[in-house]
Structure 1
């Protein structure tokens, strides 16, 4: 039994040595997590890969934090979570090509409730120009293809909401279209029903046909001309 146990230990040691050697050959550096998984991997091209845990200590009055997520070829990808050094959730961010993309949530450090919800659009940094499909806010479900010059950063795009951290109610809403602050779609719709708009529509509806205008010009200054108007009793 002792010989079998010894042989088993040797086999396990050899296997771990092979795995360790293979890992060392594949990665320039890495750490082993508490669960035995490899974290914070850096490949031979000095690019961060796979799951990472980043810890930033407090410095000059600025609170530290810890964040975890995935790197692909040195760029943040998918969902990242940020925590205070006490373990409280501070943010849930989404990334594409290393840039913010989609919905990003930021939490109040006092109540733990959502304080801000941001909306971003990532532009492929490998292209000078990128073609994207943008949904028409006035006609949901319909998209327009737009060519955008790459400025090297994400664009604010979509609805931004600001919350009261205590009650959770929305206190402010902003709408962005490809980095530019846009008018509220509801306000746009309401503007079509404004008094000015109604007056314009009424004036347009009450405008006389060209034939009637020509007839009035030809008979202006003359005695009243009787015309048939469809009434009976002549």
Structure 2
């Protein structure tokens, strides 16, 4: 009986030891995963996966960004979520500029609009132009650093928050065009194309009310 009791006790100790080691492994793995977030290289540039918190500003609610950096530039798929965890936007970046398919959501989580952006200028791109002095007429080379810019391109779908009805607008390098110009024959749910040039302001960046031009 004594031997059986000792054997059972030994098995119980082994089980406890196994669980203890497993718990330590989980904690260590979690710590390592967290340590790989929000990292900078020796030059101070953001690298890898980042989660950035943006606080409330001028009455606008706070939010968080999550995605990957490469040499301090946003790359690939990024998500924007509200302070309470609701998805607000999914965007695609290349060289820190919107390039590719994007989706935007209403505060209740319903899809607001979706479509593709095309990058027209790379953030940080350096160009040299000649500046002529108006007095001496001497030409001097001057380096300018461009800010990244993107425009809507292709079919954009907009959804009514209450009915879910979808309307389409069409863009070609930021300019509004007709469905025929893009080869879209399904125009049954197409919204009239606005006459003004497409604005770069993101749907979630403003207050939700856009001023009319003119």
TM range (shorter): 0.5 to 0.7
Give 1:108's aligned residue.
106
**Structure with more of its chain in helix, by fraction:** 1
1:122 CA drift (Å): 2.2
1:34 CA drift (Å): 7.8
Aligned partner (choices 71, 75, 78) of residue 76 of structure 2: 78
Aligned partner (choices 177, 183, 188) of residue 182 of structure 1: 177
Query: Would you identify which runs of 4 or more consecutive aligned residues in structure 1 move more than 6 Å?
Result: 186-190
User: Which of these two proteins has the greater Rg computed from alpha carbons?
Assistant: 1
- Unaligned stretches of 5+ residues in structure 2: 1-27, 128-145, 186-214
1:44 CA drift (Å): 2.3
For 1:66 and 1:45, locate their aligned partners in 2 and report how far apart those are by CA, in whole Å: 25
1:175-221 superposed Cα distances (whole Å, 9 cap, x missing partner):
1111211122289888xxxxxxxxxxxxxxxxxxxxxxxxxxxxxxx
Give 1:95's aligned residue.
93
- Unaligned stretches of 5+ residues in structure 1: 1-15, 17-31, 129-149, 191-234
TM-score w.r.t. length of structure 1: 0.52
Give 2:45's aligned residue.
47
For 2:39 and 2:107, locate their aligned partners in 1 and report how far apart those are by CA, in whole Å: 31
Give 1:169's aligned residue.
165
Give 2:150's aligned residue.
154
Residue correspondences, number: 137
Structure with larger RCO (C-alpha < 8 A, sep 6+): 2
1:61 CA drift (Å): 0.9
Aligned partner (choices 54, 57, 77) of residue 56 of structure 1: 54
